């Protein structure tokens, strides 16, 4: 299952980031997923729930930002967002274009951390 390996990678990346930041856990994670990335949000959420148990991400809220496909239209001279992925043509003038500028993203956009625990310092 494709999404399971992605979920595992997210847990790895975030855990690494938490360690570097000295934070105990993440409270929220935001992902940017392009319409063309072949990642199904429901499947990813399901996988994420499976793999994050017992990790510092166990209670983190998973936010997903869906990125629509954008192509470069030569005729209009600008980037245009497609209403769907059936037809790679400019929705304004109809010029076909395979110059994809957005929609393939699979990015970890942000991680919200719980305040780092300072109990070790207080005890000393
Ligand atoms: Zn156009």
Per-residue confidence (pLDDT) for residue 121, from 0 to 100: 45
78 C-alpha to ligand 1 centroid (Å): 8
Q: What is the mean pLDDT of the chain?
A: 91
20 C-alpha to ligand 1 centroid (Å): 46
33 C-alpha to ligand 1 centroid (Å): 25
Domains of the chain: 2-68+103-115 (3.30.2320.50)
Per-residue confidence (pLDDT) for residue 1, from 0 to 100: 58
pTM: 0.82
Per-residue confidence (pLDDT) for residue 120, from 0 to 100: 44
84 C-alpha to ligand 1 centroid (Å): 15
108 C-alpha to ligand 1 centroid (Å): 31
Per-residue confidence (pLDDT) for residue 113, from 0 to 100: 92
Per-residue confidence (pLDDT) for residue 85, from 0 to 100: 87
Average of pLDDT values for 31-58?
A: 95
Rg (CA), the chain: 19
Q: What is the pLDDT of residues 66-105, one digit of tens each?
A: 999 999 999 999 999 999 888 999 999 999 999 999 999 9
SS (H, E, C) 28-77: EEEEEEECCCCCCHHHHHHHHHHHCCCCCCCCCEEEEEEECCEEEECCCC
């Amino acid at each position: 299952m494709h999404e399971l390996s992605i979920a595992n990678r997210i847990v790895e990346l975030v855990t690494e980031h938490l360690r570097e930041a000295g934070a105990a856990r993440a409270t929220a994670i935001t992902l940017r997923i392009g319409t063309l990335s072949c990642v199904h949000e429901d499947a990813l959420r399901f996988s994420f729930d499976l793999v994050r148990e017992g990790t510092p991400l166990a209670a983190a809220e998973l936010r997903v930002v869906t990125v629509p496909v954008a192509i470069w239209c030569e005729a209009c001279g600008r980037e245009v967002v497609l209403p769907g992925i059936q037809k790679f043509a400019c929705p304004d003038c109809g010029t076909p274009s395979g110059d994809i500028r957005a929609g393939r993203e699979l990015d970890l956009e942000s991680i919200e951390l719980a305040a780092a625990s300072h109990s070790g310092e207080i005890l000393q």
